[in-house]
Amino acid sequence: MTPSVTHSDPLQSLPDILEPGLSVVFCGINPGVLAASTGRHFAGRGNRFWRVVHLAGFTPEQISPDDDHTFLQHGCGLTTVVSRPTARADELSPGEFKAAATEFEQKIERYAPQCVAFLGKMALSAMSGTRDIHWGLQPATFGGARAWVLPNPSGLNRTFSLDALVTAYRELRLAVAPAGGALPSSMRETVPSSRLE
């Protein structure tokens, strides 16, 4: 199936990489300026996303931002909550998250992933109107999917080391496919057995 590509303004948005029934949809806060200008998710040299998802077991090798569309082959998709690109996520207003909330939740309902993973607490907190957001699996679903909050892999987020990011993302990967359990068919080839220990 061809990934969904949605551009409300081709100069100001980043295409979604989605198809129905994925294991996980990773949701960035909004596109960075480089990602928006190249049309590639997590394109910045300092962004650790592609390295982290590989080390956490979602992909058999590290994907290049130029090949971001191949993430679908591993049962994973990509989108952003707010489409407006900025140099820093803190340039977004709470109103932008509120304005995006309904449409974003409908998008998740439409594509029906098993899990939706928010990268950072900011977007879910702003959309839900609560500051009581913790890391990991959330008590409530979002758009019918199990909701997770993972640390943002941006190079600007130095609160989390590479090892801490990998540990957090691996928890999600293991929740989607527990150790010793069968991986979803879309992810079956991606995790070496040594990573399941």
Annotated catalytic residue within 30, 47, 74, 152: 30
Residue 136 DSSP SS3: strand
d(CA 163, CA 196): 16
Task: Tell me which DSSP letter residue 135 carries.
Answer: S
Catalytic residue list contains 30: yes
Alpha helices in 81-183 (DSSP H): 94-111, 122-128, 162-176
Residue 164 CA from chain centroid, whole number: 17
Catalytic residue list contains 69: no
Give the helix/strand (H/E) hosting 49. helix 49-55
Enter the tokens of residue 88: 């820093």
Task: Tell me which DSSP letter residue 112 carries.
Answer: -
Active site (catalytic) residues: 30, 41
